Amino acid sequence: MFPDLAAPNKIEVTRKNLLILLLAFIAQTQGFSQERPIPVCLSLFNESTAIPFTRFFTTPIHPGIQAGTEFNYSIKPHSRWFQTANLSYFYHSYLTQGIGINTELGYEYRMTGGFAMAGLFGLGYMHTFATTEEFTFSGGQYEKKTDKGNARLFPSLSFDIGYYLHGAEPYSPKIFLRYQAWAEYPYSPDFIPVLTHINLHAGVKFFINKSTGNHE
């Protein structure tokens, strides 16, 4: 169920590096926030353990929520490259619940009339906890096991379709539907090294601090 003694050290180093990068990114976005409106992305999603791109909507529903922000690297009349930073939580009633932090590199193509399509590649850290009781056998009897959770890396690949409510306005609110394929590693090195998941998001992006952006 758990990696060997050397593996946690590798995961810990990776986790620290990811957290440092994410904190640096957040600090950078704070600098941007003094000059322009801050995008806020909120979504509710349904999580499922499944092979990516073989299923779309799954039941039963395992709920999740994600909140994040983003900033642009390059903007053209109909496209942009951007970076995200997200915090998420999901609850899978038969397996685990997890809290994750990740960042994604994204490309969006914005069509005339407000419709848009985007693709995102991400990497993050997640800590998961069992949602069912676990026991160990000791001294001739079963004892309830203390769950300290498990450290995971999770790469992701996402595609979404969206609609900007105010057409070509740069700070228009956007509603979107996103299909996210992701994996957690290491899961169970001696049995299932990688466990794949899919999340189906329904969300909205809006901007705060709009008054500042009007002075650009």
- Residue 6 burial (CB < 10 Å; 0-12/13-18/19+)? exposed
Cβ neighbours, 10 Å, residue 39:
22
What average pLDDT does the chain have? 83
Residue 50, pLDDT score:
93
Q: Is residue 31 helix, strand or coil? A: helix
- 49, part of any domain: yes
What's the pTM? 0.78
* Whether pLDDT at 180 is above 90: yes
- 1, part of any domain: no
The percent of residues in the chain predicted with pLDDT above 70, rounded, is: 73
Mean pLDDT of 95-104: 94
| Spatial CA neighbour of 62 closest among 14, 31, 98 | 98
Give the total number of structural domains in the chain.
1
Residue 140, pLDDT score:
62
Residues 203, 66 contacting (CB under 8 angstroms)? yes
At 156, list the tokens: 């992701």
Residue 69 pairs in a beta bridge with: 85
- 137, part of any domain: yes
- Residues spanned by the domain of 183: 6-213
| Spatial CA neighbour of 78 closest among 114, 119, 39 | 114
* DSSP result, 187-199: SBTTTBS-EEEEE
- Any idea what the CATH number is for the domain that residue 78 is in? 2.40.160.20
- 180, part of any domain: yes
Residue 5, pLDDT score:
37
Which residue do the tokens 């899961």 mark? 187
- 17, part of any domain: yes
Phi first, then psi, for residue 26 (nearest 5°) are -65, -40
At 50, list the tokens: 């499944």
| 48-62, 168-182, 187-201: least confident range | 187-201
Phi first, then psi, for residue 36 (nearest 5°) are -150, 165
- 136, part of any domain: yes
* Whether pLDDT at 136 is above 70: no
The percent of residues in the chain predicted with pLDDT above 90, rounded, is: 60
Residue 90 pairs in a beta bridge with: 64, 98
* Whether pLDDT at 125 is above 80: yes
pLDDT tens figures, 9-29: 444 445 566 566 666 655 555
| 50-54, 109-113, 206-210: least confident range | 206-210
At 194, list the tokens: 């990688």
